[in-house]
Amino acid sequence: MNDLELLAAADVRAMNYTASLPTRRVFPDSGALAGLTRFDEPLPPQGLPPEQTLALLDDVGSPATTASNGPDYFGFVIGASLPVATAAERLMIAWDQCASSWDNSPVSATLELLAGKWLLEILDLPRESAVGFGTSATACTLSCLATARRELLQRHGWDFDRDGLAGAPEIRVVISELTHITVKKALRILGFGLRHLIVAPVNGRGQIDLLHLPELDDRTIICLQAGEVNSGEFDDFAALMPLARAAGAWVHIDGAFGLWARASKFKAFTHGIEQADSWTTDGHKWLNTPYDCAMAICRHSAALSSAMNADAGYSAASQDAQKNLTLEFSRRPRGIPVWASLRTLGRDGVAAMIERHCLLAQQIGEGLSEAGFEVINRVVINQVLFRASSEALTLRVREALQTSGEAWFAGTFWQGKAALRVSVSSWRTEEIHVQKFIVLMARIYREILAEG
């Protein structure tokens, strides 16, 4: 097979897989999992034919996938891939561009600049902000928090790049009790020390409790969130932002998926968020681009581009070159699937997808209540948090659902007790899938209760 024949063969396999999504098991069965041992071969001393590698990948690999790109997957906040985003990614892989700077790839630099501009418009964030594209919200949060600390230190006359941290003025970090683990990971890697983080308690809904807000000052970074990972809740930005602004604190927003509410009629939940200093969001979750795709957005563009600067004698570039805005020096142009998605959906299409997911989540909440489950959260956006009447039953329901292969979601903990969590975030999920899911959940619960 020559290279074109191999690509054509891969395309046929990819198309067959995609066509099978609505009907395939959502989590692999035990046979498919056992089949994974077929990958367990020694490193070949001599190379093998590429078509054979492709066949092995498809024959053994495809059955062992989770159908997270299908309509019946409700796990985590995964999101499927929009066809145009996948198609653009296909072409992009043929280009094999390095998105560091204009010199590396004029088309990547042009489209990532445009994607960043559109993003600021659709999310209605300060238009002067810099937008860096990265692999994940985790990596982009790390970029934003490193920038925040460096900038606050600079405001206090400390040159972080030259002098590092030893002897530096102390920078305090306030996080929510429900801050996402990846924000804590970023803070830990940056050397803040978990025991030094100041934890703001939350109210029953999971929002930072305004009555117990820790003190803020101009040496404080406060991390707020748009879209708590279990409940989908939003911190009360309208109340918090003026306090943080008045104190001179740096506000970072984790909006991995929830920031996209701003592109819909649910924007009011995020009122005030535009006053923050930095924001992180994902493309690979609610916008339904393929993995890995995320954005670091910073109001103070020079602060981000100096903190992330990677200019070298052999590779100098403009301040807004992508290698100067996030962690990666070399990567593929992740802004291109964002651009392709936004261009294809338009403002209306993005709003319609998000609003539909929220409506479907509400239907799921109602259906689960009718089936006898306790819905724990107020279903503000696309997340439904619920449980059965006891801890043991909750676990049994999760297991029965997961082994059914008909749909999939994961368990979680809410206020120290086991709970179940559904997210509607795939463009493929329609009302019929949700109705089927509700019937399935009601049947599972009935059968488990009948078994006693």
> Which single residue is written with the structure tokens 């929510």?
176
Among 227, 272, 333, 365, binds ligand PLP (CB under 6 A): 227
C-alpha–C-alpha distance, residues 146 and 15, integer Å: 42
Q: Which lies closer to ligand PLP via its Cβ, residue 97 or residue 138?
A: 138
Helix (H) or strand (E) holding 15: helix 3-20
Contact stretch for ligand PLP (CB under 6 A) within 59-67, 223-231, 428-436, 437-445? 223-231
Do residues 86 and 50 touch, judged by C-beta distance below 8 A? no
Do residues 195 and 187 touch, judged by C-beta distance below 8 A? no
Smallest gap from Cβ 254 to ligand PLP, in A, equals 5
In this structure, how many other beta carbons lie within 10 angstroms of the beta carbon of residue 156?
A: 12
| CA proximity to 426, closest of 59, 37, 85 | 85
Smallest gap from Cβ 419 to ligand PLP, in A, equals 16
Q: Which lies closer to ligand PLP via its Cβ, residue 180 or residue 219?
A: 180
C-alpha–C-alpha distance, residues 133 and 327, integer Å: 9
Do residues 423 and 47 touch, judged by C-beta distance below 8 A? no
Site string for ligand PLP, 125-144 (x = CB under 6 A): -----------xxx------
Instruction: List the alpha helices (DSSP H) in 276-390.
Output: 301-307, 335-370
Q: Which lies closer to ligand PLP via its Cβ, residue 101 or residue 280?
A: 280
Q: Which lies closer to ligand PLP via its Cβ, residue 235 or residue 277?
A: 235
User: Does 81 participate in binding ligand PLP (rule CB under 6 A)?
Assistant: no
Q: Which lies closer to ligand PLP via its Cβ, residue 381 or residue 444?
A: 381
| CA proximity to 337, closest of 69, 133, 132 | 133
Contact set for ligand PLP, span 372-391 (CB under 6 A): none
User: Does 77 participate in binding ligand PLP (rule CB under 6 A)?
Assistant: yes
Q: Which lies closer to ligand PLP via its Cβ, residue 105 or residue 270?
A: 270
Which amino acid, one-letter code, is at 109? A
Helices 335-370 and 83-95 pack at an angle, to 10 degrees, of 150
Contact stretch for ligand PLP (CB under 6 A) within 20-28, 254-262, 312-320, 326-334? 254-262
| CA proximity to 68, closest of 25, 13, 35, 12 | 25
User: Does 281 participate in binding ligand PLP (rule CB under 6 A)?
Assistant: no
Q: Which two tokens stand for residue 434?
A: 């949700």
Smallest gap from Cβ 315 to ligand PLP, in A, equals 27
Which amino acid, one-letter code, is at 363? Q
Number of residues lying near ligand PLP (CB under 6 A) = 14
ω into 217 cis (within 30 of 0): no
C-alpha–C-alpha distance, residues 133 and 117, integer Å: 12
Do residues 300 and 271 touch, judged by C-beta distance below 8 A? no
Site string for ligand PLP, 283-322 (x = CB under 6 A): -----------x----------------------------
Smallest gap from Cβ 89 to ligand PLP, in A, equals 17
- Interstrand relation of 383-387 and 374-375 (parallel, antiparallel or unpaired): antiparallel
Contact stretch for ligand PLP (CB under 6 A) within 222-230, 308-316, 403-411, 429-437? 222-230
Contact set for ligand PLP, span 156-215 (CB under 6 A): 180, 182
Among 229, 287, 321, 380, binds ligand PLP (CB under 6 A): 229
The residues binding ligand PLP (CB under 6 A) are 77, 136-138, 180, 182, 225, 227, 229, 254, 256-257, 282, 294
